[in-house]
Amino acid sequence: MNWIELDKKHVWHPYNSMPSKSDLLQVKRTDKTSIFLENDDELIDGMSSWWSCIHGYNHPKLTQALKNQLDIMPHIMFGGIAHEKASLLCEKLAKISGLNSVFLCDSGSVSVEVALKTTIQYQEAKAKKKYKFIALKHAYHGDTLAAMSVCDPDNSMHSIYGSYLPSHIFTKAPELGFDSDCTNSIKELEETFKKHENEVAGFILEPIVQGAGGMRIYNPIFLKKARELCTKYDILLIADEIATGFGHTGKMFACEWADIKPDIMTVGKGLTGGYMTMAAMITSKNVSDTISNSKLGILMHGPTFMGNPLACSVALESLNLLDDNTWKKNVLKIEQIFTKELQSAKELTLVNSIRNIGAIGVIELNDESYAQEIQDYCVKNGVWIRPFGKLIYSIVAYTIKEEDLIKIIKTMIEAIKSIKTK
């Protein structure tokens, strides 16, 4: 039986039916920023594998890091055991984040779960019975249970779970636009904090860019105000940097746009350069000390594959690559190209708005019914993107060639032009 037939028979793909309702691309190999199909067609990757392959595919230094570690120790349990690569990685994460204590885990969603649990334990350690969280409308924080509970309750992909999820408090998302007037959202945020201060343990948000909830870029002033309010009310600020971290917005972490430090940060995606599944929760020393010195004394979580040496090794090498500030120049150039090339989309009838920051470029349509048609057009013309809803977007590797990025953008725009509205 052909392997794609086995896929149709046995494989349940993400956000899809079983078997898949749409044809799946049959991928044979990858190289740099290209995907090669079984029929030898080449696609320029406009998604950097769900925003994780920040250095492109098959990077020689990342590949070598894995090979070196494989011969030494592919895996070891992390309970009661330490190993060098994990220690070096955590030191590196602490240094670049400005925080102190690193908890390694399996995926972005799990890192959010751990962050929420840690926040509750922090409040418990201070003898405060506070179990609620404030989150933003349009938020997306992952697909596991607790992570779903702090995603937008009405407009997210998780709304079908309704009352099954824990109930939290949602406030107005900051107004759209990096230079927008966010007076109204800040006012509502202040009122929300004041009203719920005695029941709220933490405030979780995606700094500067709300990702899967709408690719919404917002003013750093909102983030700065969030930090002030969390400090005032002793509510932990959780910055979900899974999508924004490691350079996607032009800064190492998006929190740097507001010159603030959260109490807890979650990171993932680009952590290993897209090679291995790995994420981390990073906290201030105050948070880890408060929990560690309490009656309970321990953080109640422990994934089986936590601190996997292969993942630690490649993550460390990925972060070493970012020590060279070449990535900053590359992301700035990417941002400039997005800014210039997206302009022509503004005049299209189907287009509601365009926006971009760093390695992120977005076209928002007026209608959400054209996503599959646009994706099919792009694939036929040598570009891989995966639109969702009204959003036609690209988040690219920092190593992408200028001509390839221009082709991605022009192909997205041509795909929109090709749509024949009814």
Query: How does DSSP assign 116-168, residue by residue?
Result: HHHHHHHHHHTT----EEEEETT----SSHHHHHTS-TTTSTTGGGGGGSPP-
pLDDT of residue 1 exceeding 70, the answer is no
pTM for the full model? 0.97
pLDDT of residue 159 exceeding 80, the answer is no
Interhelix angle 183-196/220-233, rounded to 10 degrees, is: 20
Residues 222 and 190: their CA atoms lie apart, in Å, by: 11
Paired sense of beta strands 42-45 and 383-384, if any = parallel
Mean pLDDT across 167-194:
97
What percentage of the chain exceeds 90 in pLDDT?
91
CATH of the domain at 223: 3.40.640.10
Q: Are 26 and 4 in contact (CB under 8 A)?
A: yes
Q: Which residues contact 325 (CB under 8 A, 6 or more apart)?
A: none
- Note the pLDDT tens digit of each residue in 215-258: 999 999 999 999 999 999 999 999 999 999 999 999 999 999 99
Residue 200: φ, ψ to 5°: -95, 125
Q: Hey, which residues are catalytic here? A: 15, 140, 240, 269
Residues 102 and 266: their CA atoms lie apart, in Å, by: 10
- For residue 178, how many other CB atoms are within 10 A of its CB? 15
pLDDT of residue 93 exceeding 90, the answer is yes
Domain match, 358 and 211 both: no
Domain match, 200 and 346 both: no
Looking at residue 283, the DSSP 8-state letter turns out to be: E
What percentage of the chain exceeds 70 in pLDDT?
99
- Note the pLDDT tens digit of each residue in 100-118: 999 999 999 999 999 999 9
Domain match, 372 and 315 both: no
Paired sense of beta strands 264-267 and 236-240, if any = parallel
Domain match, 134 and 189 both: yes
pLDDT of residue 38 exceeding 90, the answer is yes
- DSSP reduced 3-state for 57: strand
Structurally, the chain folds into a number of domains equal to 2
Identify the domain containing residue 196 by its residue range: 73-323
With bands split at pLDDT 50, 70 and 90, how would you rate the model's confidence at 148? Answer: very high
Q: Are 360 and 46 in contact (CB under 8 A)?
A: no
- Note the pLDDT tens digit of each residue in 313-356: 999 999 999 999 899 999 999 999 999 999 999 999 999 999 99
Domain match, 387 and 282 both: no
Residues 304 and 107: their CA atoms lie apart, in Å, by: 12
Is 67 domain-assigned?
no
Domain match, 311 and 393 both: no
Neighbour-count burial of 361, counting CB atoms closer than 10 A to its CB (0-12 exposed, 13-18 middle, 19+ buried): buried
Domain match, 233 and 254 both: yes
For the chain, the helix, strand and coil percentages under 3-state DSSP, each to the nearest 5: 40, 20, 40
Domain match, 371 and 409 both: yes
Domain match, 214 and 355 both: no
